[in-house]
Structures are given as C-alpha cells and as structure tokens.
Homo-oligomer: A and B are copies of this chain.
Amino acid sequence: MLNEYDLWMQKRKITAAINIPEIVFAQDGGEITNQAVMEFTNGIQRLLGFSPKERININSGQTERQAVFLGLFPEIKKLVSFSCMEPGAEGFVIKVTETNIYIAGHDERGLLYGVFRFLSLLSLGQISYGFELGDTPVSPLRIINHWDNFDGTIERGYAGNSLFYKDGHFDFEIQRIEDYARFLASAGINRVSINNVNVRANAKLLITEEYLKEATVLAAVFRRFGIRIFISINFGAPYSLGKLPSADPLDPAVIMWWKNRAALIFKYIPDLAGFLVKADSEGEPGPFQYNRTHADGANMLAEALEPFGGVVIWRCFVYNCQQDWRDKNFDRACAAYNNFKPLDGKFNKNVILQIKFGPYDFQVREPVSPLFGALKNTRHIMELQITQEYTGHQIDLCYLPWVWEDIMNFDVIKTGNDEKNRYRVRDLIGPNKEGTANIEGLAAVVNVGLDRNWTGHTLAQANLYGYGRLAWNPSLTAKEIAGEWSALSFGASQAAQKIEEILLKSYPAYEKYTSPFGICFMVTPGSHYGPGIEGYEFSRWGTYHRADLHAIGIDRTAKGTGFTEQFSADNAGIFSDPSTCPQNLILFFHRLHYDFIMKNGQTLLQNIYDTHFEGYDEAAQMLELWKTLKDSLESDVYKSVLSRFERQLANAREWKDQINTYFWRKTGISDAKGRKIYE
C-alpha cells in the first residue's frame, strides 16, 4: 500500500527476476559515491528485505562468484565489457550478468543516478539477466527553483509551508531535507535554488554571514546527493544591505561590493552553483533604473562569481507590468524577445538566461517563446512551473508532462518540411555549444511543501517526478512517465493502470474546462484559481482578450501586434494564418469572430461551449474512475484524493457555467446541442 511520504520510492516487497548478490564492492570515492553505495544497500533492503554487505577493495571482487560492483566507468570497464556507449557527463551504465551486477558512473553523480535507476527498474520488474543500459542526461542543468520565503510561506505554494524556513530564519528538519534531496536526486535533479526569486525581507540577509552559516548545513545535505545550490539575490542589495548609494552595475563601489560578497559566500559554500536573479521584473530592482542593460547587470555579477566557478542565472521574465489596457499596440507577449534578443552575444560565459517556456506566464496553453531558437550566442535554459499556479493549485489534478511533451516537440527552427531542417525544443536541449541555439537544460518552480505527502494532492507527485525525468530525457512521452510513476508509486497493479489513465485524462480536461484554444488569463486575479473571465481585462498586467459582442482575442500577426514575426519564418507563417495555426493556440494568435468556422466544422462559439461541457464531463469521469479504486488503496490516500476530485468538479462546474454564460450574454446565441446555459 502507498506511503505518501515515500513518493516514488515505496517500501514494497517485490519479486525480482534475478538474484541480487549479497556482497557489494565499491570503488573508493567521495561522499557522493558513499551515498550511492548506501542508497544501493538501503534500496535492496526496501525492495527485497535484505542488506548487501559492502567490501572495501573493488579489485578483490574479481574473484567473487556473485557480487555487485559500483564505481566509475574507467574502473568498472576493467571488470566487464559493455556493449552500450560510454556514458557522458553524469551518465551511467548498468549491466546485469548471471552472477554480477555492474553500475558505472561517468562520474560520482553518474554512479548515484545509476544506482537510483537500477532500483527503479528493479521495482518496475524490468531487470533480468543480460540486462544492459547506458544513459546520459540530455540536459546538463536540471534545476528546481524554490519560491520559498523566509517567513515560511511559499509564493504560489499549495502544499503547506516551506521545508527550509520559518519566522524569518532557516528552520528545517534535517531528516526531511535528506529525504527531499534523495527524492530529487533519484529523479535526476542536480541543482536547487533555495529561496524565492522575489528576494524580500529577511531573504536579503541570506548573503550575510549569520545566514550563510546556516545555509552551509542545507548545502551539505544536498551535496551528498550531487545537488548544488543556487541563491536568489536582490539586485538592490548593495544599497539595501550594503548601504551604498546605488546598485549601478557600472559603479566601481558596487562592483567591489559584489566581489567581496561573492568571496564571503564561497567561503561558506565553495561549490555554490551561483546566483539566480529576477531583476527589473514585477517591481524588483534591476539595471534599468541606472540606464544600464541586462547584460551590464548580469555580467557584473558574473565577474564577481567567475573566480569561484559560479554562474549567474538571469531571468528573462521582464515586461511592463504597468501597462495601459487602452493601448492596443503594446503586447506583453513580445516583451522577453524584445528585451533579450538584441543582447544576444553580449553576456559573459558564466551567464545563463532563464526563459519562461511561453511569452506570458505559465498559462495552460501558450506557444513556445520565440527566444528559443533565436538566441544563438547566449547560454540559456527553459523555465517550467511544477507548482500549479494556473493549473489548479493542486486541488485540481493536472498532469503537466502532458503539456511539457508538446513543448518539447515544438519545432523551434523549421525551414520547410525537411526533417533535417527541423529542430524541436528537445533537439536543442544539450550542453552549450557556441553559435548554436542549444538549451542547456530546464529549471522549474517546484510544488512541494511541508505537507506529509509533499505536494498536497498526492497525484501531483507525478509532476515532480515527471519534471525530473523529462529534464533528464526530453524525448520521454507523458504516457511513458505516467506509467513509470504510477507503477513505482502504486505497484504494478490494475490500480496503477487506472491512475495512469486518470493522469493522462487530466490535462486535456483542465484545458477544456478552463482555457481552450490558447485563451489566457481568464482567472481570478491574484489567486489564479477559478474563473475570472474579465479579471485581467482592464488591469495593468497586459493580459487582455478584449471580447466584445462580435469577436474575441488579440491579433498578434504582422497586421496586429506583430508577435508572430518573432518566430522563424515558417513558424510565423503557420501561426499567422488561422487555417494553419494550431487550434489549441488559435485564440492566442488571432482575434476571431464567434462564427469563425473551426477545423471540426463548428463555429468558434460552439467550440467554446463544447469544450467547456466536455471538460466538465471529463472531470466528472475522473472522479468516477477514482471511486472505483476505493478498495484498492489506503483509505487516507483514497479519501484525500477523493475530496480533491470533488473540489475539482465544483471548480470545473464554475468554469463551465461562468464561461458559457459569459459568451451567451455576449452573443445571445444558444448552444446548438440545447444544453443548459444559465442566463
């Protein structure tokens, strides 16, 4: 049965198709190797009920009849030959013979990941004699962003308070942090930023000695699991903390202040990954206030970190958040590209731009940001959101790998239909290569908190797992990940298969009852849960649909705001024409009359009605499917998820009825199928 706390690493006796040797030989190594060995023996204990014993000298093992060998690839390949490719950075190979098990990492992290993968595959029943697997992560950077505040709250957190902070200070249970680090590493995560990108109140003190001393404890736990930490800093720190008159990135006093500060920080955390910076964004300070560019700002920080091997991750979520809704020429969707494309090539080598996947802000359906593919001389990564800010607050189930798969498959660079001239997002993900549009990895805002099940909604655990797996290998499908997670969590069972089915239903259902066709921001202002159809219609946030009695949407073609022109020529063409534009984005790119005929031959209006009725019905089906699991699941898990499905259905009903009523009131046109629309 499921112990929610244990996520996808359940203590559940399995029947293995192989004998697991009782002796482990491990190559001498550092603390990550030691952790890997411990994870192996504990993992076998968890799954098979016994603990293999470790022997000290790996070479002596060659004479053992039955043994496990854990080490780095050059050492292990002396013991056995592999038919799979040599692993790359952080990769591993696994080989299982009639007598022995070999797990070899390219490096210590690779070994740890190999051990976790072996245990996972063992649990899934996929290990047999003769098994061999080599795997190397596609993304060098697989980052988790915490939006945790020092007061213990989490911005956009839906699973309890912070794991790290309380009442203005570090405050954590060390065992819980270790467990967290284990879960992240087992999903392949190798970086964690530990504080909110909005660096306010006591978070500004994180770069002072008092707080750094405590941060070292956290860093040490993560380090054993191969995870390096980032610190989010406030660009205004030189004046807010340092009492300098400014934070001008070209001011020598400011430059010196950051250099000294970097030296201090790295004294405490020598392997700090670097800084994460939200500047000139939604009211945060930044270089604009000194008439400097983002390159000026980021490079100044990068120079301070460079001697210590740190990088600056600079967020591209920069837009005018004091927009006038009356101004129809200005389009927030254009902001990231307009702000950062002209700076391509102007950033230092240890600056990495972090670009939200879409031009808006983690909406249910957005096009992929045109910055991907366009930036060729600047290191960059893609930002996703695991925490369900716009996707149901972990009350509603919304299995995010569903949409991430679409993002990974988007043809960023497309010239004609020739396959070799197509580059999908997943094709671009990989190590930095100068002069290419390579994306060095993914970052994502995490969905965990102090709730015992980590994620509030138990099934939202799949999103955390799925993010890690996808960052490792962007070619994995949503279905593959759902199957893996369900079986790991619930055991190979009919229940797991039904849960996989529910997961795969959830995103299309959520999209349909909330925001089909790429319409965005019809949500309750502030909270972002539940419908607020005109909630952002006259606000300063620049997110309008301008529905009137005839039409809805923004014309973002060359005839409108011109946003389509930021894409490669082929994509611009596809998006610009309503007949070729993907239907699920058609209202993102076009202003359409309600009687516009969609691909299914029905009007846009009828499609709006249909999708909302369908989405509600699908939410109802998920609830019914869940009810069939009553006798297959732990009662507390069953009930807690049940109550969320019930709340989701109530939410879906509000969405369906409010949206349909809204458009009925706008148009006076009834549903062609005669279903109930309230006046």
A665 to B547, CA, bound (A): 7
For A533, list chain B residues within 8 Å (CB).
Answer: 534, 538
For A549, list chain B residues within 8 Å (CB).
Answer: 549, 665-668
Which positions 637-676 of chain A face chain B at CB distance < 8 Å? 654, 657-658, 661, 664-668
Report if A550 contacts B (CB, 8 A).
Answer: yes
Report yes or no: A658 in contact with B538, Cβ–Cβ below 8 A: yes
For A547, list chain B residues within 8 Å (CB).
Answer: 665
Report yes or no: A666 in contact with B666, Cβ–Cβ below 8 A: yes
A494 to B640, CA, bound (A): 70
Of listed A533, A549, A668, residue having the most chain B CB within 10 A:
A549
Report yes or no: B668 in contact with A548, Cβ–Cβ below 8 A: yes
Report if A546 contacts B (CB, 8 A).
Answer: yes
Count copies of this chain in the complex. 2
A658 to B548, CA, bound (A): 13
For A538, list chain B residues within 8 Å (CB).
Answer: 531, 533, 654, 658, 661
Q: A658 — nearest CB in chain B belongs to which residue?
A: B538
Question: Which of these, B326, B654, B664, B667, contacts A657 with CB under 8 Å?
Answer: B326
Q: How far is the CB of A649 from chain B (nearest CB, A)?
A: 15
Q: Given A531-B538, A538-B531, A538-B658 in contact, is the A546-B326 Cβ separation under 8 Å?
A: no
Report if A328 contacts B (CB, 8 A).
Answer: yes
Report if A179 contacts B (CB, 8 A).
Answer: no
Question: Which of these, B326, B531, B678, contacts A326 with CB under 8 Å?
Answer: B678
Report yes or no: B534 in contact with A666, Cβ–Cβ below 8 A: no
Report if A679 contacts B (CB, 8 A).
Answer: yes
For A328, list chain B residues within 8 Å (CB).
Answer: 679
1/0 contact string of A523-549 vs chain B (CB within 8 Å): 000000001011000100000001111
Of listed A550, A657, A668, A678, residue having the most chain B CB within 10 A:
A678
22 A-B residue pairs with Cβ-Cβ distance under 8 Å, sorted by A, are A325-B678, A326-B657, A326-B678, A328-B679, A531-B538, A533-B534, A533-B538, A538-B654, A538-B658, A538-B661, A546-B665, A546-B679, A547-B665, A548-B664, A548-B666, A548-B679, A549-B549, A549-B665, A549-B667, A549-B668, A550-B668, A666-B666
10 extra interface residue pairs, beta carbon distance < 8 Å, beyond A326-B657, A550-B668? A533-B534, A533-B538, A538-B658, A538-B661, A547-B665, A548-B666, A548-B668, A548-B679, A549-B666, A549-B668
Q: Could you tell me which A residues sit within 8 Å of B by CB distance?
A: 325-326, 328, 531, 533-534, 538, 546-550, 654, 657-658, 661, 664-668, 678-679
